[in-house]
Copies of this chain bind each other. A is one copy, B any other.
Amino acid sequence: MAEVAARAGVSTMTVSRALKRDGAVSEETRRRILAAVEELGYVLDLSAGALSSKRTGFVAVLVPSINNSNFADTARGITEVIEDQGLQVLLGATDYDIEKEEHLVQTMLTRRPDGIIVTDGRHTPRARRMLQAAGIPVVEIWDLPAEPIDHVVGFSNAEASRALVRRLYQKGYRKIGFIGGASRRDSRGADRRLGYLRAIEELGLPVGRTIAFGDPPISMEQGGQAIVHLIEQWPDVDAAVCVSDLSAFGAIMECHRRGWAVPGRIGIAGFGDFEVSRWAWPRITTVAVNCRTIGLEAGRILLGALDDVQRKRTPMPATLIVPFEVIEREST
């Protein structure tokens, strides 16, 4: 930067200002500086700037998996909003594991992000403590935690699942099974099962028709295996609610393969409104949440909180509940 400054005949401070968005520098000077930057091929070093300004321009984002288009959409939404403000996402994947989340939180805090967005409201006590002590805005997304750390953008997975079951009931289904993961690691999956159970009970339907299969994320393959188990174990089952669209898709394809008509023999519903559900044949009944919106809103709330901090206002923790929608398609 000193070289650029020398070449442009100004001080480094002026160069620094010229390279910021809000820098108060005269047009003439800025032009000279930018020319010098270009000629020298100079690239600003933010890691130095971060140290003195105490703002790194990073927003840490933790998702269970980037290999899941729902979370990928959310991550994109966040990125979109915050990069407009010159911030950058530091992405991490927890693999649905709160121990790994704890470790990632620590790693991320080591980079001193200006804010952090975590998926889920479940954390290890130590992770929780670190998040609270970090002194930066925190947004928990994709869930409605009982005790939010700070801000929240999410919805009740249990309610959504319950609404789906009730819709199936209206449609005439009475022997409804559930296909989900075998571990509690995926807390959103566990909530969906909970909502299913609640609905079944409320409606007075036969209980117990639950297949637990494999570790999250439940794959297409596991969906296919699970539907076979479900039908073998309870031959009178007339519908299956799957913990995600991917398992629902696997289940439907397995039914095709075995000549079981969907929805003729059994209705099958998923969760998440993945692309595959919109274009599969039959199209898959599911619960849609706007994943990108979750990301956009989480990003906006974070930006708002950062703005509050900068203006030395006390930020007010916000909770934003995003809507979900049961979408009935051809598979039920």
Contacts and interface: CB of A to CB of B under 8 A. Distances in A.
Contact of A51 (B48, B275, B276): B48
Contacts of A220: 275-276, 278-279
A216 interface: no
Contact of A279 (B88, B89, B111, B249): B249
A120 to B, nearest CB: 19
Contact of A106 (B43, B67, B73): B43
Contacts of A111: 46-47, 88
A162 interface: no
Interface in A32-70: 41, 43-48, 50-51, 56, 66-67, 69
A327 interface: no
Interface stretch (A146-154, A174-182, A250-258, A316-324): A250-258
A122 interface: no
A219 interface: yes
Given A47-B56, A107-B88, A41 B280 contact: no
A133 B41 contact: yes
Nearest to A73: B67
Contacts of A106: 43
A256 B253 CA distance: 12
A243 interface: no
A279 B47 contact: no
A66 B75 contact: yes
A81 interface: no
A130 interface: yes
A280 B280 CA distance: 9
Contacts of A72: 66-67, 72
A326 to B, nearest CB: 22
Contacts of A272: none
A224 interface: yes
19 contacts: A41-B129, A41-B130, A46-B111, A47-B56, A47-B112, A51-B51, A66-B66, A66-B72, A67-B73, A67-B76, A79-B93, A88-B90, A88-B107, A88-B111, A90-B90, A246-B275, A249-B276, A253-B281, A256-B281
Given A48-B51, A72-B72, 7 more contacts: A43-B110, A46-B111, A224-B279, A249-B279, A253-B281, A257-B281, A276-B276
4 closest cross-chain pairs (CB), A and B? A220-B279, A67-B72, A256-B281, A253-B281
